[in-house]
Structure 1
Amino acid sequence: MTQVGEGQDADESAPPVMTFGAPTAGEILAERYELVEHINNDSAGRLVWRGVDVVLRRPVAVVLRYPGGESATEMLQAAVAASRVIHPNLVGVYDAIDEDERAYVVREWVDGQSLRELVAEDQFDPARATAIGSAVASALAAVHATGMVHGNVHPGTVMISDDGRVVLADARTDGDDSQESDIRAVGGILYFALTGHWPHTEAPLRGATAGHGRAAIPDGVRDAAGAIAAPRQVRAGVPAYLDDLTMDLLDPEIAPPSSDVLAAELARLDVPADESYLDNSGPLRFTADPDEEPSPLAAAGGRKVAIGIAGLLAVALVGLLIGISALGGGDDKDPQTNPVAAPTSSAPAGDANPPAAGPLRIQDVRIIDPDSSKRDELDGAKKIIDGKTDEGWRTDRYPNNKFGNLKKGMGVWIDLGTPHTVRSVQVTLAGTGATAALFSGTVNPPSTSSGDKQLIQDYKTAIGQPFEEHDGTTMTFDGFDADKKYQYLLFWVTQLPADEDSPGFRLGVQEISVQGS
């Protein structure tokens, strides 16, 4: 298992680890975190321990640095920033403590291995590589939505748990990286998963410098001119669309898409391997309908998209001419005696290209308040879907975070108009500390107390994991079933955050957005 601060084992050039005052098994830090087993030391010389939170009785990883104080500032600042973003593909950060003689970060314990270790055993097949890239891009989209940068995306910080969950660990805040470098690093992750090599450039991606000993990552395969070889040139069986996407992300001459667009595209590609239309359609998956604006990713890979479209149009034209010739029978009859049926709006010309993933329009939204007789907190729901995060809907102020013990919770009901394939729902809140979950259902009762009670009884299908005492302002739910379609959703809040303006507790929902097709 890998539980390393930077996701790497110590190499030959790692700084010496200070052992004065080093912890021992059984020691309890901050009167809460019991150290159980020393796992290893990372490449920065930090000690990594498996521990137990004796209050919540859950396993944790404890990363210690000697000394603390000023030398540990960057590590602690990065931990505090990371703790504000909660996402299923990000390692949870629970605590960051500086005791001067030592500092330590307490984070989620992940039973599993790093991508670096798994690929050392064998390269991933294209489907699994796509799934890894999709998870990393989704995590980065959540980070970037807060305006932050991860700054440490490489095969050592991508971890795969024993149950298959992919998580990104150990963000940095030293200011040397950008959201663009994060996005390009996803291309490096795809390249590494497919080939077992890291595509160094003249400005290597963070964490990818050629090291020594066990921490070294093999450099990318290059031609005589020093250009990086495409994945398809390194191993057989890599689909053209995945090869093109990977190389476009690594090409400094091509502007990368935003992380949310990349996450949506990779989620769309992350489908069962037996859906072979991906191999055939390739770049067309990154194009929009003729009457729509082109997607950012289509613009990023424009030259390859154009070639792909031109080739497919040529094939389609040849097929059309052959079909007309066959229907005409090769004689001189009136061409109208054997007309060719044209596609109609009720019979679209094929479903080979599934709808593009992107923002879905929310048709209706309302506040659900089944336990209130006054029902005086229902106004302002439309502000949740107006595209503005500077205003939204707010609850009344309560004396405690359990709605003053007057009700079990309140929620926001979402109607997408018609059933859709949904990828994710992102909720932007006005403060931190809320506890909430997302559910789906099938009924749309009237907006009354009895109607709300009926709705609560029906909406039992949970989407992803609930957020408990959420210490960030953005919640992203992406546990949707790709084989199902959804029309009605319920964002349900059971615990309120503290009101920053005055004593008491209240919730503000600034914006809700839905991604899907």
Structure 2
Amino acid sequence: MTQVGEGQEAEESAPSVMTFGAPTVGEILAERYELVEHINDDSAGRQVWRGVDVILRRPVAVVLRHPGGDSATEMLQAAVAASRVIHPNLVGVYDAIDEAERAYVVREWVDGRSLRELTAEGPLDPARATTIGHAVVSALAAVHATGMVHGNVHPGTVMISDDGRVVLADARADGAESHENDLRAVGGVLYFALTGHWPHGEAPLHGATAGHGRAAIPDAVRDANGGLAAPRQIRAGVPAYLDDLTMDLLDRQIEPPTSDVLAAELGRLDVPADEQYLEQAGPLRFSADTEEERSPLSPAGGRKVIFGIAGLLVVALVGLLIGITAFGGGSDDPGGQAAEPTNPATNGEAPTPAPAAIRTLNLSPDQVRVIDPDSRARDEFDGIEKVVDGDQDEAWQTDSYYNAKFSNLKKGMGILIDLKQPQTVKSVEALLSNRGATAHLYAGTADQPSTSAGDKALVQAYQGNQIGPTLENHGAKMVFDGFEADKQHRYLLFWVTDLPEIDPGRYKLIVQEITVQVQ
């Protein structure tokens, strides 16, 4: 089990970092810290030992540097500063001692593995990567609140204990770092956890790894111009919102949020598995309609609870009515059969047929697909089945854009709904996470291949048959009910031309649910 020191481990071929006066197993430092096992050497000339505090009888990690004095000033200053910040996601620092011929820092021992070791077995699932990122930035928020900088956020200094606790170790204090660089490093940690590649090193040549020896970490995947590949381009299953957040943190053109704001955002997304209403859906911000304000204290799953109770009440009421009919019919017929009721208003004539009942279609995932005619990558299709799963806490979403017009990259995007057969449609409702979208509803008679060319042909054919007015800069609930009673439709296209703003300067379409009512 490896405990990292400050930075990466030394190369396998590196000479021993200590010769004369090197510590030995069983030696007791400062009459208190017994050295039990040499764990590793790091590239900055330090040895890391597992030890025991013989007074408090607790395990400790001892990081030694030879010699001490001026060469150990930065290490000792960082340790003293870190000891003043107490946080569950920071490794505790217990002592810092300079003996001239050597200096050492005594800190908490963590039974577990570094993120570097953990990811060596393969990239982590998005939920676990989010949890680790949340813990790291929470620790940084505590450090930054004191005005300090950590300066050493790296897959080797992020530790995951055997009981699941995530801690950040070994801050530096050389003055060359900043709060912004700490936050960029959080983007690197997320990227590394999701892909197994580190984005902050220089691109290696001919597929070599960045760095050397045991400390080598695979460099990020890059295009011919050195541009960084997004996690979603490297592996499947990475939610768009987590991909966006990671790439924004790594983009030097985008100013990162403060550590406390980032911690709050990752904390909102870091949902336990048994409460994961947001699973893959990302930063949903439910907007209450004007007729009914939703309490900000309502839990994400509140609607499910309300609907569940209402359903039970309906079942109980129906059962009660059936019981009254069966056992309290009050019939005088000796055969036990109740007389058929008559309607005196009809005078014995056949009654006028009632109009067909309005019902909500139970749409299946194969009845919806994304229409994206202006994109060759066609990479925003994941999760479209969530718009018909009956769960408003899950959603399909586009990538983020930097203005409402899809950053002028495309004319629009939409969702094609196949009703399977011509039907008399009463209304189509689209529930979005944010207000501000502009959308149209079109109808058509035929589908097209799911390609850019096919989507272009479909949009061109459908735009001549718009249903009702355009809903411009509309609320989160968009209802299209301008259908003619004597017409039937099989295909409907929900087409969005302006995205809602989800954050200052960021625009994205998040569709929670689409429902179709027919007669």
Q: Do they superpose with TM above 0.5?
A: yes
Aligned positions, number: 322
**Equivalent-residue separation in structure 2 for 1:305 and 1:58 (angstroms):** 58
**Equivalent-residue separation in structure 1 for 2:90 and 2:203 (angstroms):** 26
**Equivalent-residue separation in structure 2 for 1:201 and 1:33 (angstroms):** 37
Which 5+ residue runs of structure 2 have no aligned equivalent? Answer: 291-399, 415-431, 443-465, 469-477, 488-509, 514-519
What is the SS of the residue equivalent to 1:303? coil
Instruction: Give 2:9's aligned residue.
Output: 9
Instruction: Give 2:258's aligned residue.
Output: 258
By how many angstroms is 1:3 displaced? Answer: 1.3
Of the structure 1 ranges 303-312 and 58-67, higher mean CA displacement relative to structure 2 is found in 303-312
**Equivalent-residue separation in structure 1 for 2:90 and 2:479 (angstroms):** 55
What is the SS of the residue equivalent to 1:86? coil
By how many angstroms is 1:37 displaced? Answer: 1.4
By how many angstroms is 1:194 displaced? Answer: 0.5
Would you say 1:145 and 2:145 are equivalent positions?
yes
Distance 1:211 1:289, change over 3 A: farther
What is the SS of the residue equivalent to 1:61? strand
Q: Match of 1:183, as an amino acid? A: L
By how many angstroms is 1:35 displaced? Answer: 1.2
User: CA contact under 8 A between 2:114 and 2:160: conserved in structure 1?
Assistant: yes
Distance 1:169 1:302, change over 3 A: farther
| Greater C-alpha radius of gyration | 2
By how many angstroms is 1:90 displaced? Answer: 0.5
What is the SS of the residue equivalent to 1:139? helix
Instruction: Give 2:171's aligned residue.
Output: 171
Distance 1:5 1:261, change over 3 A: same
**Equivalent-residue separation in structure 1 for 2:161 and 2:280 (angstroms):** 32
By how many angstroms is 1:280 displaced? Answer: 6.6
Bigger relative CO (Cα 8 Å, ≥ 6 apart)? 1
By how many angstroms is 1:200 displaced? Answer: 2.6
Would you say 1:67 and 2:67 are equivalent positions?
yes
Distance 1:324 1:19, change over 3 A: closer
Map 1:324-403 onto structure 2 (within 5 A). 330=485
Instruction: Give 2:100's aligned residue.
Output: 100
Between the aligned residues of both structures, percent identity stands at 76
Distance 1:35 1:161, change over 3 A: same
What is the SS of the residue equivalent to 1:121? coil
Distance 1:83 1:324, change over 3 A: closer
By how many angstroms is 1:61 displaced? Answer: 0.5
1:284-342 CA-to-partner distances (Å, cap 9, x unmatched) read: 55x99999xxxxxxxxx77289859997565876499788665866379xxxxxxxxxx
Q: Match of 2:260, as an amino acid? A: D
Q: Match of 2:242, as an amino acid? A: L
Instruction: Give 1:223's aligned residue.
Output: 223
User: CA contact under 8 A between 1:15 and 1:45: conserved in structure 2?
Assistant: no
**Equivalent-residue separation in structure 2 for 1:159 and 1:80 (angstroms):** 20
Distance 1:303 1:134, change over 3 A: same
What is the SS of the residue equivalent to 1:48? strand
User: CA contact under 8 A between 2:4 and 2:114: conserved in structure 1?
Assistant: no
By how many angstroms is 1:276 displaced? Answer: 6.6
Instruction: Give 1:430's aligned residue.
Output: none
Distance 1:50 1:202, change over 3 A: closer
Runs of 4 or more off by more than 6 Å in structure 1? 287-291, 308-311, 319-323, 350-353
Would you say 1:303 and 2:458 are equivalent positions?
no
Map 1:61-210 onto structure 2 (within 5 A). 61-200=61-200, 210=210
Instruction: Give 1:270's aligned residue.
Output: 270
**Equivalent-residue separation in structure 1 for 2:287 and 2:20 (angstroms):** 61
**Equivalent-residue separation in structure 2 for 1:7 and 1:201 (angstroms):** 14
Which 5+ residue runs of structure 1 have no aligned equivalent? Answer: 292-300, 333-349, 354-517
By how many angstroms is 1:51 displaced? Answer: 0.9
**Equivalent-residue separation in structure 2 for 1:148 and 1:265 (angstroms):** 22
By how many angstroms is 1:103 displaced? Answer: 0.3
**Equivalent-residue separation in structure 2 for 1:143 and 1:179 (angstroms):** 9
What is the SS of the residue equivalent to 1:107? strand
Distance 1:325 1:271, change over 3 A: closer
What is the SS of the residue equivalent to 2:402? helix
CA RMSD of aligned residues (A): 3.5
Map 1:401-420 onto structure 2 (within 5 A). none
By how many angstroms is 1:2 displaced? Answer: 1.7
1:359-418 CA-to-partner distances (Å, cap 9, x unmatched) read: xxxxxxxxxxxxxxxxxxxxxxxxxxxxxxxxxxxxxxxxxxxxxxxxxxxxxxxxxxxx
Distance 1:2 1:234, change over 3 A: same
Q: Match of 1:330, as an amino acid? A: A
By how many angstroms is 1:211 displaced? Answer: 1.7
By how many angstroms is 1:10 displaced? Answer: 2.1
Instruction: Give 1:57's aligned residue.
Output: 57
Distance 1:201 1:302, change over 3 A: farther
Distance 1:235 1:273, change over 3 A: farther
By how many angstroms is 1:16 displaced? Answer: 3.8
User: CA contact under 8 A between 1:110 and 1:161: conserved in structure 2?
Assistant: yes
Instruction: Tell me the TM-score normalized by structure 1.
Output: 0.56
**Equivalent-residue separation in structure 1 for 2:280 and 2:187 (angstroms):** 22
**Equivalent-residue separation in structure 1 for 2:288 and 2:229 (angstroms):** 33
**Equivalent-residue separation in structure 1 for 2:248 and 2:22 (angstroms):** 47
Would you say 1:233 and 2:233 are equivalent positions?
yes
Instruction: Tell me the TM-score normalized by structure 2.
Output: 0.56
Q: Match of 1:228, as an amino acid? A: L
**Equivalent-residue separation in structure 2 for 1:2 and 1:149 (angstroms):** 25
By how many angstroms is 1:98 displaced? Answer: 0.2
**Equivalent-residue separation in structure 2 for 1:314 and 1:351 (angstroms):** 11
User: CA contact under 8 A between 2:192 and 2:199: conserved in structure 1?
Assistant: yes
Q: Match of 1:303, as an amino acid? A: Y
1:201-244 CA-to-partner distances (Å, cap 9, x unmatched) read: 6699xxxx932111011100001111010000001110100000
What is the SS of the residue equivalent to 2:120? helix
Q: Match of 2:402, as an amino acid? A: R
Q: Match of 2:485, as an amino acid? A: G
Q: Match of 2:36, as an amino acid? A: V
**Equivalent-residue separation in structure 2 for 1:225 and 1:42 (angstroms):** 33
